[in-house]
Amino acid sequence: MTRLWNSAAGLLLATGGLLGLTPLFGKLAAQGGVGAPLWAFVVSFGAAVVLLCALLARRGRVGLTPRRLRYFAATAAISYAIPNLLMFSAIPHLGAGYTGVMFTLSPVFTLGLSILFRQRRPNALGIAGIAVGFAGAVMVAATRGEAGQPAEPLWVAAGLLIPVCLAAGNIYRTLDWPEGAGPIELAVGSNLASAAMLLAGMLVTGAGGPVASLAGAPLPLVVLGQVAAASGMFALFFRLQAVGGPVYLSQIGYVAAAVGLVFGVAILGERYQAMTWAGAVVITVGVLMTTRAQGRG
């Protein structure tokens, strides 16, 4: 475990693999009648409770200074509440695997934003990688979801907003990381803030559906699986950010997309057009180019 905790590559694979399970669990929840806001709440609240127990067991605590409260709120909105709502709302229309492919655009957007905020110097390879990634995204977007079940352009646009939010969160967390804060503490505080936002939104709008919908078989097992995956992912997520930086961390999207596509096809029986797969390959090339550009920066 200590070796994994200090290995950027190991953290990348583990975090991305756990993230890739989220669309699978999300689609199973949607098929069981659970609304997107309620499922997003389950992810954040469940992970926060598990990680808080782990933190307290180690005699740790969550600092509540004004700066940390700001960090928790901003991270919760940009990185968790909004992208999770988008993802779980889009999955029934786009498919779990297709929605997972959207994660692969996170490195491209993250590099673009890092250049904009002058965290990295632009170079020709990085710009070319961004262009290739966008080309792949256009190919994937054109297929509009599962084969034979084209989604409305609105849902495709919602899917494309997911990596934009994730990229913005990657940059923000680095720029405003509270001094002396540990990864588990930040994961707990951010997820509790996200859960509070989602709960308030459900109470005000009435969206999300009844909590009783979570009790229908086999949803209790899906809830346990999702909370376990999310808890593990968030425990490693902030550590990866500290070890690898925002652009390197964003590449969990590539691992997550691969896992999402495989499970979407193998377990959920989803089918995608050849252009979707081709677009995923093109996006991968763009990601590899941006990765190489990061190494040269």
How do the domains of the chain map onto residue ranges? 2-296
Give the residue-averaged pLDDT of 104-112.
Answer: 80
**Mean pLDDT across 82-102:** 89
Angle between the N-to-C axes of helices 106-116 and 124-143, in degrees from 0 to 180, rounded to the nearest 10: 140
pLDDT in tens, 12-24: 888 988 998 999 9
Of 63-67, 108-112, 175-179, 265-269, the poorest mean pLDDT is in 108-112
Q: In whole angstroms, what separates CA 229 from the centre of its chain?
A: 12
Give the separation between CA 87 and CA 72, rounded to whole angstroms: 21
Number of H helices, E strands in the chain: 14, 0
- The per-residue pLDDT for 76 is 96
What average pLDDT does the segment 156-172 reach? 90
Is residue 30 over pLDDT 80?
yes
Q: What is the pLDDT of residues 179-199, one digit of tens each?
A: 888 888 999 999 999 999 999
* DSSP for residue 146: S
Assess whether pLDDT exceeds 70 at residue 215. yes
Q: Mean pLDDT across the chain, nearest whole number?
A: 85
Burial 176-214 (b: 16+ CB within 10 A, else e): eebeebbbbbbbbbbbbbbbbbbbebbeeeeebbeeebb
d(CA 9, CA 4): 9
Q: Residue 122, preceding bond cis, omega within 30 degrees?
A: no
Q: Give the confidence band of 245 by pLDDT, cuts at 50, 70, 90.
A: confident
